[in-house]
């Protein structure tokens, strides 16, 4: 019996040999780039002395982590990071699924590529450029202050000094920038659905809206869950460009724009302390890991067949 299984295994290996060969460069890349450097996590617990090297440097206990928790900033940056990421995940998922469903309905090739292209452009634009676009809108002599607000009879707003608006500006910019890319994945999945199901539904008299809610969305569920889980793993990381460049690194609005990554960057810019920055990375990775496991457990409870692992 056992012999038989091994044989089948071997057969399977042989059958998929070209697949495995194709995987090889990727696996090697993953090992070199993502696994070997993990040994460097040790730096987070060291008081680094470049003369002695990483291994010989003295241990520093948890001192390198202290700055992430010791002050009241710790609460603000953790809160901002998590809440913004949650908002981003919800917004991006809802809007990009909607956009994907709408795009899938377009039959005109030219129109489709036009829409997709214009949705994707923001994704490939660098955040430095985005920050200038934002400045053109929100600067003291920008579009909003010189054109929009006067037209509405409102006073100009010093956008980069007011904390309030950024709670909306940041998710808006993030969504604008990433929606094209996210919707491509959903659209690719929708296009792959068996059209006979839809035909059957039409024959049964299902309305368009019913097809969307009863067919498309349930069929998309596994993709959505996978995408959301991948985002949740990075819930403790933040898009540095978005939080640093777009608010123009303005100090006055730190209360609503400071996240873990920007806090670490600002704090260590002058210290260039390798160990402290490793500690921050370590912290983010560990928490992200735990959150993914917890989320997966939750999915297992709610709908076991959709859990990632």
Partner 1 sequence: MKKRVLSTILAAALTVASMTGFAVPAQAEEVPNIVVVYAWNELPANLDAIESRLSEIAEEKIGATVTLQGFTYGNLMQQMSLALASPSEQWDCLPGMFRSGLAGYVAQGQLNDMTDLLEEYGQDVKATLGDTLLKGSVCNGRIYGVTMLRNNASQECIVFDKQYIDELGLDVSGVADYADLTDIFAALHEAHPDRYVTGSSGTKPTLLINTFNGHDPLSNNLGVLMDASVPEVSNFFESDSYREFLHLTRSWNEAGYIYPDILTDEGNSGANLMKNGLCMSYFTSYTPDNYAEYNALSQSGETVVCPLNSTILMTAQTWTWTIPTNSAYPDKAMQFINLCYSDPEVISLLCYGIEGENWEVDEDGFAVAIGSDYPDQKTWEIGNGSLIPVQKGGQADHWDQIKAWNNAATPSVAFGFLFDSADYAAEETALASVVAQYRSLLEWGFASDVDAKLDEFNEALYAAGLQTYMDAKQEQLNAFVAAE
Q: Using the minimum distance from each CB to partner 1, give the nearer residue, 67 or 236.
A: 67
Q: Does 226 bind partner 1 (CB under 8 A)?
A: yes
Q: Using the minimum distance from each CB to partner 1, give the nearer residue, 87 or 185.
A: 185
Q: Does 51 bind partner 1 (CB under 8 A)?
A: yes
Residue 49, classed as helix, strand or coil, is: coil
Q: Does 104 bind partner 1 (CB under 8 A)?
A: no
The piece of 172-180, 199-207, 209-217, 267-275 that touches partner 1 (CB under 8 A) is 267-275
127-156 positions binding partner 1, by CB under 8 A: 131-132, 135, 139-141
Q: Which of 4, 26, 153, 205 binds partner 1 (CB under 8 A)?
A: 26
The piece of 20-28, 113-121, 199-207, 288-296 that touches partner 1 (CB under 8 A) is 20-28
Rounded-to-integer distance, Cα 208 and Cα 198, Å: 10
Q: Using the minimum distance from each CB to partner 1, give the nearer residue, 111 or 188.
A: 188
Residue 59, classed as helix, strand or coil, is: strand
Rounded-to-integer distance, Cα 75 and Cα 57, Å: 31
Whether 264 contacts 77, CB under 8 Å: no
CB of residue 196 to partner 1, shortest distance in Å: 17
Helices (H), the chain: 2-15, 17-30, 53-56, 66-69, 73-104, 109-124, 127-138, 143, 149-151, 166-191, 195-203, 208-211, 217-232, 240, 254-257, 260-269, 274-302
Q: Does 306 bind partner 1 (CB under 8 A)?
A: yes
Q: Does 29 bind partner 1 (CB under 8 A)?
A: yes
Q: Which of 14, 58, 72, 108 binds partner 1 (CB under 8 A)?
A: 72
Q: Which of 50, 108, 151, 218 binds partner 1 (CB under 8 A)?
A: 50
CA atoms within 13 A on the CB side of 248: 15
Looking up tokens 């057969």 gives 11
The piece of 3-11, 71-79, 235-243, 289-297 that touches partner 1 (CB under 8 A) is 71-79
Q: What is the dihedral of CA 13, 16, 22, 24, to 10 degrees?
A: -10
Whether 288 contacts 78, CB under 8 Å: no
Q: Does 66 bind partner 1 (CB under 8 A)?
A: yes
- Backbone phi, then psi, for 187, in 5-degree steps? -65, -40
240-259 positions binding partner 1, by CB under 8 A: 248-252, 254-255, 258
Q: Using the minimum distance from each CB to partner 1, give the nearer residue, 67 or 243.
A: 67
Residue 16, classed as helix, strand or coil, is: coil
Rounded-to-integer distance, Cα 307 and Cα 299, Å: 5
Q: What tokens were used for 191?
A: 């296009």
Q: Does 160 bind partner 1 (CB under 8 A)?
A: yes
Give residues in contact with partner 1 (CB under 8 A): 23, 25-26, 29-30, 33, 48-53, 63, 66-67, 70-73, 131-132, 135, 139-141, 158, 160-161, 185, 188-189, 222-223, 225-226, 230, 248-252, 254-255, 258, 263, 266-268, 270-274, 276, 305-306, 308
């Amino acid at each position: 019996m056992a012999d038989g299984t091994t044989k089948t295994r071997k057969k399977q290996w042989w059958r998929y040999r070209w697949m495995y060969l194709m995987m090889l460069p990727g696996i090697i890349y993953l090992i070199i780039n993502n696994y070997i450097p993990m040994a460097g996590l040790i730096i987070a617990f060291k008081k680094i002395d470049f003369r002695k090297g990483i291994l010989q440097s003295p241990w520093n206990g948890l001192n390198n982590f202290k700055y992430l928790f010791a002050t009241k900033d710790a609460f603000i940056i953790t809160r901002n990071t998590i809440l913004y990421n949650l908002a981003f995940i919800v917004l991006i998922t809802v809007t990009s699924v909607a956009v994907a469903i709408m795009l899938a309905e377009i039959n005109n090739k030219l129109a489709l590529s036009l829409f997709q292209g214009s949705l994707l452009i923001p994704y490939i634009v660098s955040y430095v450029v985005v920050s200038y676009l934002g400045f053109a809108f929100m600067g003291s002599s920008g579009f909003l202050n010189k054109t929009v607000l006067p037209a509405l009879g409102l006073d100009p707003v010093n956008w980069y000094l007011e904390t309030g608006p950024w709670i909306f500006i940041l998710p808006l910019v993030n969504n604008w920038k990433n929606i094209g890319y996210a919707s491509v994945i959903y659209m690719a999945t929708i296009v792959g659905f068996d059209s006979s199901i839809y035909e059957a539904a039409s024959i049964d008299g299902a309305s368009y809206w019913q097809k969307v809610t009863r067919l498309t969305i349930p069929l998309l569920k596994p993709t959505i869950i996978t995408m959301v889980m991948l985002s949740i793993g990075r819930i403790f990381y933040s898009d540095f460009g978005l939080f640093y460049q777009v608010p123009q690194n303005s100090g006055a609005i730190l209360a609503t724009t400071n996240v873990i990554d920007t806090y670490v960057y600002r704090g260590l810019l002058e210290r260039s302390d390798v160990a402290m920055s490793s500690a921050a990375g370590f912290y983010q990775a560990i928490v992200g890991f735990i959150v993914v496991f917890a989320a997966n457990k939750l999915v297992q409870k709610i709908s076991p067949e959709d859990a990632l692992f």
